[in-house]
Amino acid sequence: MIVVPVELGSRRYEVVVGDGARHELKRVLPAAARRAAIVTQPGIGVEVDPGVDHRVFLMGDGEEAKSLPTVEGLCRSFARWGLTRGDVVVAVGGGVVTDTAGFAAAVYHRGVPVVHVATTLLGQVDAAIGGKTGVNLVEGKNLVGAFWQPAAVLCDTEVLATLPPRERRSGQGEMAKYRFLGVDDLLALPIHEQVAACVRAKAAVVAADEHEGASGRRATLNYGHTLAHALETAGGYGLRHGEAVAVGLVFAAELAARLGRIDAERVAEHRAVVGAYDLPTSLPAGADPAELVRLFARDKKAVAGITFVLDGPRGVEVVPDVPAAAITAAFRSLSDGSDGQCR
């Protein structure tokens, strides 16, 4: 097993990565917990044993289940069972589960400990790490949430063997992002080392900027996500989250080039990294740039005009008040006749 600490002082916790990591649940459970509410989805099929009295609570599948009604339903079920602040929520699943169950844990009794057992590649390299929890509104992704750090995260790479190829590629969209945040090429590494490298990168950022402070460092983890979230809010166009992030990375590179921040060679590198994972690099068919621009204004980073995370001479950083002409030109570069879909 590889253990990566997330250094947050007295709230320090471990991310355990490796085959069979889910079996570490008893060890990492808060010592005072008498009962565990296990939140998962019907199709996950990953069983865990917390070693204490427990009950399974099912939530729906898909992004539509990542909602305030789901959080209310979970909290009411916790209350009927008698879950207390001294117990624990265990989220078993991908990012939809860890985001939603983590938010329910954050608001139930004003905060109940949560442990994440991440079962997808996307969840293991990104969603389950760092304490961001939240749900979607019709108006946008992740607009309601809370920072609520887990007591521990278990990334069991053994369960990735059964992931459908497209679900794996979705996780690789987030992995591609880390290449531009200072992580070396991951493709030659065994999967547990790939996951651990991404976790280390995210843990370092979270430890330095837990709540997206003035430094803007944590916001760099949203590289590629401004367009990705807009695409998902607009209807998804058949893209999974990591696929939308892949398109967003290429768009961000094209936009940065039009602002004079990077050169054509760096744009080509973005396209090559995304392409190496067999991920889309073009806007999906039917995407409406005007609608996407409207959605950019609702992005959580948009405090001074339309705001993006962009590459540049100082690396990836937050860039506010991006001019509309540059955005339009970047959109044209992605509308090359490809349908933007994964094979």
Options 158, 167, 193, 212, the catalytic residue: 212
Q: In whole angstroms, give the CA distance from residue 279 to residue 43.
A: 25
- φ/ψ region of 184 (left if φ > 0, alpha if ψ in -120 to 50, else beta) reads beta
Is residue 132 among the annotated active site residues? yes
Options 141, 202, 258, 301, the catalytic residue: 202
Residues forming beta bridges with residue 40, ordered by sequence position: 58
Options 116, 222, 254, 270, the catalytic residue: 222
Options 22, 141, 200, 218, the catalytic residue: 218
Q: How many CB atoms lie within 10 A of CB 317?
A: 18
Options 22, 66, 132, 141, the catalytic residue: 132
Nearest to residue 147, comparing CAs of 78, 213, 216?
213
b/e sequence 101-139, b meaning 16+ C-beta within 10 Å: bbbbbbbbeeebbbbbbbbbbbbbbbbbbbbbbbbbeee
Options 80, 110, 211, 314, the catalytic residue: 110
Q: In whole angstroms, give the CA distance from residue 255 to residue 269.
A: 14
Options 22, 66, 179, 241, the catalytic residue: 241
Nearest to residue 88, comparing CAs of 41, 9, 168, 31?
31
Is residue 202 among the annotated active site residues? yes
Is residue 225 among the annotated active site residues? yes
Options 225, 240, 261, 300, the catalytic residue: 225
Q: In whole angstroms, give the CA distance from residue 96 to residue 7.
A: 25
Which DSSP helix (H) or strand (E) runs through 195? helix 191-208
Options 22, 229, 240, 270, the catalytic residue: 229
Is residue 136 among the annotated active site residues? no
Q: How many CB atoms lie within 10 A of CB 229?
A: 26
Q: Which residues are catalytic?
A: 110, 132, 174, 202, 212, 218, 222, 225, 229, 241
